[in-house]
Amino acid sequence: MTDNQEICDSVFVHESSYVDELCDIGENTRIWHFCHVLSGSRIGANCTIGQNVSIGPNASIGNNCKIQNNVSVYNGVKLEDGVFCGPSCVFTNVLNPRAEIERKDEFKETLVRRGASIGANATIVCGVELGAWCLIAAGAVVTKSVPDYALMAGVPAKRIAWVSEAGVTLGDDFVCPVDGSRYAEIDGVLKKLGDSE
């Protein structure tokens, strides 16, 4: 680590990990073994970065995120608050890579919205948006944008159900069995209902 960083005293970085210059890491974030945070990346507060994770350059991770072992968050990927990335899930940033053709000017952005969860070994093809509170099943391959609260599975991934903010599959009544929150499907979009609705 160097003096050109904004890192709070409460941040833990394991001695085997590297944090490049010009990185911003929020309070109470923990970065474990063999990680590399590349220049220009921002990691919010209260995040857990597991073993062998690479972030950046210029990646953006919100507050309260958990990134499990063996994940690379590339340039162009933005994780909002509360995102969970399961072990060995994969982000890409170029649609048609070639070893001998430079395509850094063709990076596609990927946005993962608030509270989304990505299962182990899932692949997120670049240029998509994962909706808030969606859940991507382990091993799924996401090739298109995902709506809020969608449970996606398969290759290519398809919506197989709706889930609540608690991460539980919703039945026909659209009531979460964990916290009692209520939802409604309107024109193929799921919305959470307020107390008065």
The mean per-residue pLDDT over the stretch 129-155 comes to 98
The percent of the chain in helix, strand and coil, each rounded to the nearest 5, is 0, 35, 65
> In the predicted model, is pLDDT for residue 143 greater than 60?
yes
How many beta carbons lie within 10 A of that of residue 191, not counting itself? Answer: 14
> In the predicted model, is pLDDT for residue 3 greater than 80?
no
Mean pLDDT of the chain: 94
What pLDDT, on the 0 to 100 scale, is given for residue 62? 98
Which helix (H) or strand (E) segment holds residue 107: the answer is none
> In the predicted model, is pLDDT for residue 197 greater than 70?
no
What pLDDT, on the 0 to 100 scale, is given for residue 1? 47
Do 89 and 74 touch, CB atoms closer than 8 A? Answer: no
Local structure of 183: helix, strand or coil: strand
Q: How confident is the model at residue 196 (pLDDT cuts 50, 70, 90)?
A: low
Q: For Cα atoms 27, 10, 38, give the angle at the middle one, nearest 5 degrees.
A: 65
Dig out the tokens for 13 from the structure: 């970085």
Q: How confident is the model at residue 2 (pLDDT cuts 50, 70, 90)?
A: very low
Do 119 and 136 touch, CB atoms closer than 8 A? Answer: yes
The mean per-residue pLDDT over the stretch 112-137 comes to 98
What pLDDT, on the 0 to 100 scale, is given for residue 5? 58
> In the predicted model, is pLDDT for residue 43 greater than 90?
yes
pTM of the predicted structure, to 2 decimals? 0.94
The residue type of 162 is W
Using the 8-state DSSP alphabet, how is residue 16 labeled? T
